């Protein structure tokens, strides 16, 4: 049932008309007796119909637009999940683990659905999608017939919506560990406790891309469970994978064994320190991969993040043999692509190195970026070649 109308300010109206799906608390002029999580009709200050949105009673993002039309179909949730699933048949063809529903990118704001073989992982990150969890489970079961559906509702953003943090079964069964294949590499994913929903699915295409450049001696910094390292090991001489998490390192070792890859060494170390040590020892690499966690989680953290990105990229370029590639990523939304490119240019200037840009990439295509909604473009991945 649709509630409202909720009336937004001129500024809010302009934002909706520009195609942005988020309206902040300060741009809501009137919202009377609305149920938290309800679908509401949205109107401008002079009564202009703007569309429909999920209403959040607690969060700074008060409205998340779901439709700009005159009417909203009763079956919108089902129709959109079905459309999202269909699009993955093109962009994730043949993949075992990938993102089925990516929030705003699938016109289902604050809803994430990931597929790991026969199992699904769901995140309902606002009151709007939380309120529709049961309906969503019915839809997913009907469309995909999964063996189990897990909710990984432990991201901290849920607290901003007044929602609790929880991990639990919504349907069927989900084992402790699941094996999934990315091309010819098998990974073991822990959907219950792993980072994100188990694996970094947003890097799926970049893992495969890295195989085109990895050769000789490879350093994979910020390795997690070896997303890049194991693919690189299929094509390169030897791989050193590094992560501060001892658990991740143990998983890399298990994954390497499972794939019969004897050329992977994994170390539990802080990459900032290790890059310095490797340099002091005069070690060199033919390929370096850097995929750090978001150094800038908020706007205030950008300055420090820029220093961090500059330092690791500078040190990586120094370790790199001429002719070798640096595959370098940033998943901080607040450090935009142009900023990241500037940081990389500054690192190259200081190295000093002459560097060409081989590829500029982003998150995998099953994590759609919405044009005009910069918040949906967070992952940047540059392939650089140190020419000299």
Among residues 74 and 257, whose Cβ is nearest to ligand SAH?
A: 257
Euclidean distance between CA atoms 29 and 277, whole angstroms: 57
Q: Count the residues of the shown chain that bind ligand SAH, applying the rule CB under 6 A.
A: 18
Out of 127, 203, 255, 313, the residue judged to bind ligand SAH by CB under 6 A: 203
Those residues with Cβ within 8 angstroms of residue 184's Cβ, 6 or more apart along the chain or in another chain: 234
Does 270 sit near ligand SAH (CB under 6 A)? yes
Among residues 203 and 332, whose Cβ is nearest to ligand SAH?
A: 203
Angle at the Cα of 101 from the Cα atoms of 99 and 378, rounded to 5 degrees: 70
Helix (H, G, I), strand (E, B) or coil at 105: helix
Helix (H, G, I), strand (E, B) or coil at 271: helix
Among residues 37 and 292, whose Cβ is nearest to ligand SAH?
A: 292
* Only segment of 68-76, 122-130, 154-162, 269-277 that touches ligand SAH (CB under 6 A): 269-277
Q: Shortest distance, CB of residue 195 to ligand SAH, whole angstroms? A: 6
Annotated catalytic residues are 331
Closest to 224 measured CA to CA, from 262, 195, 256, 263: 195
Q: Shortest distance, CB of residue 329 to ligand SAH, whole angstroms? A: 8
For the residues of 119-184, what is the DSSP string, one character each?
Answer: EEEEEE-SHHHHTTHHHHHHHHHHHH--SEEEEEE--GGGGGGTPPPEEEEEEE---S-EEEEETT
Q: Shortest distance, CB of residue 156 to ligand SAH, whole angstroms? A: 16
For residues 171-200, which are near ligand SAH according to CB under 6 A? Answer: 200
Does 227 sit near ligand SAH (CB under 6 A)? yes
Q: Shortest distance, CB of residue 143 to ligand SAH, whole angstroms? A: 28
* Only segment of 64-72, 131-139, 238-246, 378-386 that touches ligand SAH (CB under 6 A): 238-246
Out of 43, 291, 339, 366, the residue judged to bind ligand SAH by CB under 6 A: 291
Does 35 sit near ligand SAH (CB under 6 A)? no
Among residues 153 and 203, whose Cβ is nearest to ligand SAH?
A: 203
Those residues with Cβ within 8 angstroms of residue 340's Cβ, 6 or more apart along the chain or in another chain: 309, 330, 380, 382
Euclidean distance between CA atoms 150 and 249, whole angstroms: 25
Q: Shortest distance, CB of residue 364 to ligand SAH, whole angstroms? A: 11
Euclidean distance between CA atoms 308 and 310, whole angstroms: 5
How crowded is residue 323: how many other Cβ atoms within 10 Å of its Cβ?
Answer: 12
* Only segment of 138-146, 290-298, 316-324, 340-348 that touches ligand SAH (CB under 6 A): 290-298
Closest residue (Cβ) to ligand SAH? 227
What pairing do the DSSP bridges indicate for beta strands 49-55 and 2-8? Answer: unpaired
Q: Shortest distance, CB of residue 175 to ligand SAH, whole angstroms? A: 21
Euclidean distance between CA atoms 229 and 205, whole angstroms: 14
Token pair of 322, please?
């001429």
Q: Shortest distance, CB of residue 336 to ligand SAH, whole angstroms? A: 20
* Only segment of 145-153, 244-252, 254-262, 334-342 that touches ligand SAH (CB under 6 A): 244-252
Q: Shortest distance, CB of residue 331 to ligand SAH, whole angstroms? A: 8
Does 245 sit near ligand SAH (CB under 6 A)? yes
Out of 224, 285, 333, 377, the residue judged to bind ligand SAH by CB under 6 A: 224
Euclidean distance between CA atoms 168 and 153, whole angstroms: 8
Residue in the structure block whose two tokens are 């990150």: 125
Does 271 sit near ligand SAH (CB under 6 A)? yes
What pairing do the DSSP bridges indicate for beta strands 285-290 and 217-221? Answer: parallel
Among residues 174 and 290, whose Cβ is nearest to ligand SAH?
A: 290
Token pair of 228, please?
């890049």
* Only segment of 75-83, 144-152, 166-174, 216-224 that touches ligand SAH (CB under 6 A): 216-224
Among residues 34 and 271, whose Cβ is nearest to ligand SAH?
A: 271
Does 248 sit near ligand SAH (CB under 6 A)? yes
* Rg (the chain; Cα; Å): 22
How crowded is residue 316: how many other Cβ atoms within 10 Å of its Cβ?
Answer: 26
Q: Which positions touch ligand SAH (CB under 6 A)?
A: 200, 203, 222-224, 227-228, 242-245, 248, 270-272, 291-293
């Amino acid at each position: 049932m649709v509630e409202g109308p909720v009336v937004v300010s001129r500024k809010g109206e302009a934002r909706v008309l520009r195609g942005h799906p988020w309206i902040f608390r300060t741009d809501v002029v009137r919202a009377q007796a609305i149920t938290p999580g309800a679908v509401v009709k949205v109107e401008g200050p002079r009564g202009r119909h703007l569309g429909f949105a999920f209403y959040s009673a607690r969060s700074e993002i008060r409205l998340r637009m779901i439709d700009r039309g005159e009417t909203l179909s009763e079956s919108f949730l089902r129709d959109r999940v079905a459309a999202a699933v269909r699009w993955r048949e093109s962009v994730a063809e043949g993949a075992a683990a990938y993102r089925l529903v990516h929030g705003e990118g699938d016109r289902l704001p604050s809803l994430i659905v990931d597929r790991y073989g026969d199992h699904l992982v769901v995140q309902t990150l606002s009151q709007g999608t939380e309120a529709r969890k049961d309906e969503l489970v019915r839809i997913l079961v009907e469309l995909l017939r999964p063996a189990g559906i897990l909710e990984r509702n432990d991201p901290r953003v849920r607290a901003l919506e007044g929602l609790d943090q929880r991990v639990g079964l919504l349907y069927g069964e989900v084992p402790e560990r699941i094996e999934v294949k990315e091309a010819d590499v098998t990974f073991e994913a822990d959907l219950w406790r792993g980072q994100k929903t188990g694996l970094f699915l947003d890097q799926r295409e970049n893992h495969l891309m890295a195989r085109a450049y990895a050769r000789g001696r490879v350093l994979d910094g910020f390795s997690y469970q070896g997303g890049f390292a194991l693919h690189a090991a299929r094509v390169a001489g030897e791989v050193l994978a590094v992560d501060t998490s001892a658990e991740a390192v143990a998983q890399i070792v298990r994954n390497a064994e499972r794939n019969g890859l004897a050329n992977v060494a994994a170390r539990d170390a802080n990459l900032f320190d290790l890059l310095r040590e490797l340099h002091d020892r005069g070690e060199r690499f033919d390929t370096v991969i850097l995929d750090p966690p978001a150094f800038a989680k908020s706007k205030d953290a950008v300055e420090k993040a820029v220093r961090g990105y500059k330092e690791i990229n500078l040190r990586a370029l120094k370790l790199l043999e001429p002719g070798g590639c640096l595959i370098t990523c940033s998943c901080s939304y607040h450090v935009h692509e142009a900023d990241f490119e500037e940081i990389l240019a500054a690192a190259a200037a200081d190295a000093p190195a002459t560097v060409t840009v081989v590829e500029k990439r982003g998150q995998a295509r099953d994590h759609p970026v919405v044009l005009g909604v910069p918040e949906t473009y967070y992952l940047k991945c540059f392939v650089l070649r140190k020419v000299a």
